[in-house]
Structure 1
Amino acid sequence: MAKLLLNLRYVPEDEAADVRDFLDAAGMEWYQTRPSPFGISHGGIWLRNNEDFAEAKRLMADYQRGRQARAREARERAEREGTTETFADIARADPVRLVMIVLAIIFLIGLMAVPGYMLSR
């Protein structure tokens, strides 16, 4: 019976490709399911043989440690070089979105305050 190794929800394509590559390199049989048309399932990478699951999990843990180290290094390099994205960069890039979010927050806070106001009258 097949076992799910990786749910592809919020997984970037480069990471999924790396996982497929290390499974192929290890000689493990796998298959990938596609996302559902209604967004209920986002697909996954499955192992065909249950016997491979423990080794695949170990390989996955090693891969994720390496990916985490590379991501941290890239973040630190961007911070040193001053190229990290700041709140001001986001606000300059899409000010309409920022204003809409602030208005939505104010509206929701007001909507939550209405029952308290009505009860205090």
Structure 2
Amino acid sequence: MAKLAFRLNNVPVEEADLVRSLLVDQEIDFYETTAGRWGISVAAIWVKTDEEFTRARELIEQFQVGHSRAMRDQYTEDVNAGRVPTLWQLLRASPVIFITYWLLIGAVVVISVLPIYGYFN
């Protein structure tokens, strides 16, 4: 019976492609399911046999350790090089959008708190 080896929901396309190529290189027989038209199903990579599942999970876990470390290092490098925008840079780039978001956040907080405030008064 097939076993779920790797969920693809909210996984970047590049990472999913790397996992697929890893499984193909190791000659592990797998198939994919999509999230469906409305995105409510499980998008995943499934492995057909128990032996291949164990091997696939080990490979994927090793890959994820290295990949997450590389992504964290890349992010740190981008922050140090100034390629990640700061809050101030975002405000200067699009002040109308920035202020609109903060007004919406404030409105949600007020709408959420007013019933509680009215209950206790």
TM-score grouping bracket, smaller chain normalisation? 0.7 to 0.9
State the identity as a percent. 30
- Aligned amino acid, residue 13 of structure 1: V
Give 1:66 deviation, angstroms: 1.1
2:45 alignment counterpart: 45
2:64 alignment counterpart: 64
Structure 1 runs, 4 residues or longer, greater than 4 Å off: none
Which whole-Å CA distance do the structure 2 matches of 1:58 and 1:120 have between them? 55
1:11 alignment counterpart: 11
- 1:73–1:6 CA distance, 2 compared to 1 (3 A): same
Task: Structure 2: give runs of 5+ residues left out of the alignment.
Answer: none
- Aligned amino acid, residue 102 of structure 2: V
- 1:120–1:51 CA distance, 2 compared to 1 (3 A): closer
Give 1:110 deviation, angstroms: 1.5
User: Over the residues paired in the alignment, what is the CA RMSD in angstroms?
Assistant: 1.9
Task: Structure 1: give runs of 5+ residues left out of the alignment.
Answer: none
Task: Count how many residue pairs are aligned between Structure 1 and Structure 2.
Answer: 121
Shifted more, 104-113 versus 10-19: the winner is: 104-113
Which whole-Å CA distance do the structure 2 matches of 1:22 and 1:28 have between them? 9
